[in-house]
Amino acid sequence: MEKVTIYHNPECGTSRNTLALIQNSGIEPDVIYYLETPPTRETLIQLIKNMGISVRSLLRKNVEPFEKLGLAENKFDDAELIEFMLQDPILINRPIVVTSIGTRLCRPSEVVLDILPADQQGAFSKEDGEVIINEQGQRVEK
């Protein structure tokens, strides 16, 4: 079975939906509760590189540490931003999913469908009721 890893926060609806989409493909992923077990500096840097995004774009903006630390200002370099994320993992946006096909920040949750190595096995709706996968296991486009 193909290895899939999700950096997960069970308090986040997007993260829960992403995990459920992975499971709907028949895959039981390795779940890393990154708030309790944050990635190492090397892992975080590699995840960002593999996603092809900037360090700043992985920052979660709607949390108290973002405001408190003044992270909206462009006065911090990448190394400093990474250090803030390591010190306070709530600043890491999520969920991040790693598969053999790629690594993505899965916002919205259906982004995970682009990197899953297995097809959906049935219908799927997000927690809010939005249908993502129809009865035939096919993606429903908005």
With vertex at residue 74, the alpha carbon angle to CA 73 and CA 79, rounded to the nearest 5 degrees, is 115
Rounded CA-CA distance 71/57 in Å is 12
Q: Which two tokens stand for residue 49?
A: 């590189």
> Cis link prior to 29 (omega < 30° from 0)?
no
Q: Which amino acid is at 107?
A: R
Active site residue 106: no
Q: Which entry of 2, 6, 11, 12 is annotated as an active-site residue?
A: 12
Catalytic residues: 12
